[in-house]
Structure formats: structure tokens, C-alpha cells
Structure 1
Amino acid sequence: MSQAKVLVVEDDIDSASVLDAYLRKDGFAVCMAHDGAHAIQLHAQWQPDLVLLDVMLPLVSGTDVLSTIRRASDTPVIMVTAIADEPNKLGALKYGADDYIVKPYSPKEVVARVHAVLRRARLVPAADGKLRHQRLTVDTHAVQASVTDEVGQSVVLNLTPAEFSLLATLLRTPFKAFTRSELMESCMPESGALARAVDVHIHNLRRKLEQHGIDGVLLTVRSVGYRFQ
């Protein structure tokens, strides 16, 4: 992650300075903005690899800055706020944030989150549309998942559309914990089923993967949902 560029958008000068020091110590290049308008300008000019974005900002709010960034690019954004309620967290993620940190925070935790989000952002599909994990290949173009067996033969998995969509979504951003609602919205947007229906699909998907020796990759995150490991 050496010399990855992080734009810190924070109107509290002391908090911004602390983050600046910790990020630089960990090898990041840092640029700071203390209001939303300046943040939008710096994002366009400096083109950071990640944005740490406070919600409460003068001139332009953090959510409006996020919307502006998302219209122009897919730069990873971590929202920072003093509001810890669930609707605000899910709202930030819904509108394009990659992660969410609640104040007061540990600067070391923030740096760790920055590393984690950058790792996820760099794990993109190959040009052929294929996502891979060990012997598992998910072809997003052909909408087909397969496992390479002990003799090197490719065995196609018999997945339902919902199971395939869940697998591709989780594998595309490993380490990210998805809520059931996020998975429903992303993988089954027109379904009238309850979010708990995701549990059934994950159970069936695990079973099919385990039949081919792919064990322990779909993890349950307590009180949240699921992630791929």
C-alpha cells in the first residue's frame, strides 16, 4: 500500500492532523480538505486512491460530497461520523460508501480500515470477467461457477440464479461483511421475500461448494450477515 494517496476530509483541524500523522507514518501520501467544496475540488485534481470523509462538513455536506464523487468515479470512500445508528450506517453504504467509522475512533483502527478497503478495491475481476479463489472460478460473463478437481478437470456447479449472484457478489469484495438486506438488494432486487431468505440460499450454496471440497469460505458475521474468506 506504500504511497497510496488518501484524501482526509475533516473540518476538525486537530482530528485531521492526528489522522494525517498516523497515515503518513504507515506510508500513505495524504492531502487534507476542511470543507466539502474543497474536498470535491481536491478529489478531481489530486485523484486519491481513497477518501476518508466526515459527514458533518461546512459548505457542502459529506453525503453530497459522496454523491459527487460517485457520479465521477469509483474511488473508495470511508465515511466518518459521530452518528452511530443503523439507518445512517446503511444509508451511507447504500449511497456508495465502502465503509463506515463512528467517532470516537482509534486512529490505528482507521488506518487498518483504510488498508482493508484498499485491498478490497484492488481485488477486481480479470479482463475476462472471471473471479477466482483457489480451485473456484466464477465467470461473471458466462454466469457460471466451476471447481477444478484433483486431476485438473473443471466441474460446473449447478447453481440457481440467486445462488450464483450471491457467490459472485461475496467473492467480488472479499473481507466485506454484507448485511442480509444489502445482499437482497444487490442479488435479488425484485424478490418479495424477507431478508432471511438469504440464509436459505447461503445454506444451499455452502452445501454445493462443500460437495466439491470448497469449505469454510462463506462466513457468518454475527448480527450482520455474511462475507467471503
Structure 2
Amino acid sequence: MRTCVLVAEDDTMQAELVRRYLEHEGHTAVVAHNGRAALEQARRRRPDLVILDVMMPDMDGLEVCRTLRRESEVPVLMLTARTSEDDLLLGLDLGADDYMTKPYSPRELMARVRTLLRRTRDGSPWRDGVLHVGDLRVDPRGHRVTIGAAQVECTRGEFEILSAMAAQPDRVFHRSQLLQEIHGLDLGTTERAIDMHVMNLRKKIEADPRRPARLVTVFGVGYKLTDGTGGRRRAP
């Protein structure tokens, strides 16, 4: 079955290059050159993936991503010339699944596309039951995270990280291992995205994000998810 990829890029030459690469790999490519046209195409065509440039006329990519996330769970790969950590964090916080800075290699872009589509299509081995880590519950089927009775709203990327780690609590994950679980890639540029996702998750699941007790750093190695007790028994 051919997949449909929406390319939202105001640079016509860049959009044409991406379209040719996508079609060479067997995808149907739909191109939009501004934010409003991108939203219209997304609503009409219901693509399997959106490649979304941040800097576009009429409506920028961040606003498009925000609107898409209110309406669907379509994977979003953002492209931007901005390189600051704040820009990266904002894009991920709005629900982008992956993030590439310009200039980029079209071959790397296609690798990211393949991985995002595979992740969406195939699912993952931890999706068959509700995962419990202390009072944190991750329901992969219902795409739901709760702490006690409180629901935690997560973006797709945050949810994938939490699901992978909740399936193996107390295991230390290298950033590259989380990339393989989520994106299937081991790219230094993307490892920063893992750190941003972890930072966002801590704001949502930790009582004090500056002193995390659940999603903890193992210095020089990576991250692990614990029950938050620090080895102490909870009172019954």
C-alpha cells in the first residue's frame, strides 16, 4: 500500500527535491508551500506523515503542528534553519515526532521518514498490556499515561520514550538505545531530541523536575525509569 507524505515547504526547489526522493522510494508526495495550504491538504488527504518546515508564510510550521495535534496523531517531522535548544524544545513540546536542522542530507531525511512510518505501522513489542512502574501506569493500547488517578498528557515522542522505559523499569538506556527504540536511528543530531523529550517528561511526571526521582539520569550512561521511591518501600 502506497503511503502519502505531505511536504510543507515554501522553498520550491527544496520541496521538489524532497518530492522526488519520496516518489523514488514509492511514496505518494503532496506539496504545500504555505501553512494554510498545508493544513487544508492534511485535512483533505489525511497523509501518513507530514514533513513540516518551520518558516512558512501565512501560518508558520509551529502553528500548523499545534493545529494538527489537536486534530490527529499523524507523525510530524519538522525541518528548520533554527538551531537553538529553545526552538528544538518548542517543536517537540508541540508534538513533533522528529526534528532536523537545515541544511540536511536528503538520504538522512529519507531514513527518518522510513523509521517514522515503520514505527507507526508496525507498533512495538511493549504494546500488549498496561505497564506499571510504581504508581505510574502506561497504557500503550489506549495511549494513556496516569500517575495515581491523574492523567498525564504526553506527545507521541514522549509517550514512546516512556513506553520503552516502562517496559523495562530500572534498566539504564543509552540515548542511542532510545533512538533505536523510537526512531531506529543512531544519529548525534537526534540524541539532543531525546534530552528534550526527557526534560519535558520530567515536568509532567516529577514532583520536582529539578530533582527527578522517577526518570533519573545515570551520569555518563543515559536514563532509567524507576518507581520513584529511591529503593524505599512506600507506605501501604
Q: Report TM bin, short chain.
A: 0.5 to 0.7
Q: Which of 104, 125, 128 is residue 132 of structure 1 equivalent to?
A: 125
**Equivalent residue pairs, number:** 178
- In structure 2, the partner of 1:53 is 52
Do residues 160 (structure 1) and 134 (structure 2) align?
yes
Higher mean alpha-carbon deviation, 96-105 vs 174-183, is at 174-183
Identical counterparts, % of pairs:
33
Shift in alpha-carbon separation, 1:171–1:45, aligned structure 2, 3 A? farther
Letter of the structure 2 residue corresponding to residue 86 of structure 1 = E
Shift in alpha-carbon separation, 1:193–1:123, aligned structure 2, 3 A? farther
**Secondary structure in 1 matching 2:69:** helix
Do residues 175 (structure 1) and 189 (structure 2) align?
no
- In structure 2, the partner of 1:15 is 14
- In structure 2, the partner of 1:85 is 84
1:105-143 alpha-carbon deviations (Å, 9 max, x no partner): 11111111111111222344xxxxxx635xxx8721xx4
Letter of the structure 2 residue corresponding to residue 185 of structure 1 = K
| Post-superposition offset of 1:76 | 0.4
CA contact (8 A) 1:183 1:198 kept: no
Letter of the structure 2 residue corresponding to residue 97 of structure 1 = A
Cα distance in 2 between the residues matched to 1:167 and 1:60: 32
Question: Any unmatched runs of 5+ in structure 1?
Answer: 125-130, 145-158, 206-229
- In structure 1, the partner of 2:62 is 63
Shift in alpha-carbon separation, 1:121–1:191, aligned structure 2, 3 A? farther
Q: Which runs of 4+ in 1 moved over 6 A?
A: 163-166
Question: Any unmatched runs of 5+ in structure 2?
Answer: 139-144, 146-160, 168-177, 184-190, 228-236
Shift in alpha-carbon separation, 1:169–1:185, aligned structure 2, 3 A? farther
1:66-125 alpha-carbon deviations (Å, 9 max, x no partner): 11111110100011000011111111001110000100011111111111111222344x
Higher relative contact order (CA 8 A, sep 6+): 2
Whose radius of gyration is greater, 1 or 2? 1
Do residues 198 (structure 1) and 188 (structure 2) align?
no
Shift in alpha-carbon separation, 1:37–1:203, aligned structure 2, 3 A? closer
- In structure 1, the partner of 2:152 is none
Shift in alpha-carbon separation, 1:45–1:170, aligned structure 2, 3 A? farther
| Post-superposition offset of 1:195 | 4.9
- In structure 1, the partner of 2:231 is none
CA contact (8 A) 1:53 1:80 kept: yes
Shift in alpha-carbon separation, 1:18–1:171, aligned structure 2, 3 A? farther
Provide the alpha-carbon RMSD of the alignment.
2.9
CA contact (8 A) 1:163 1:202 kept: no
CA contact (8 A) 1:181 1:195 kept: no
Give TM-score, length-normalised by structure 1.
Answer: 0.67
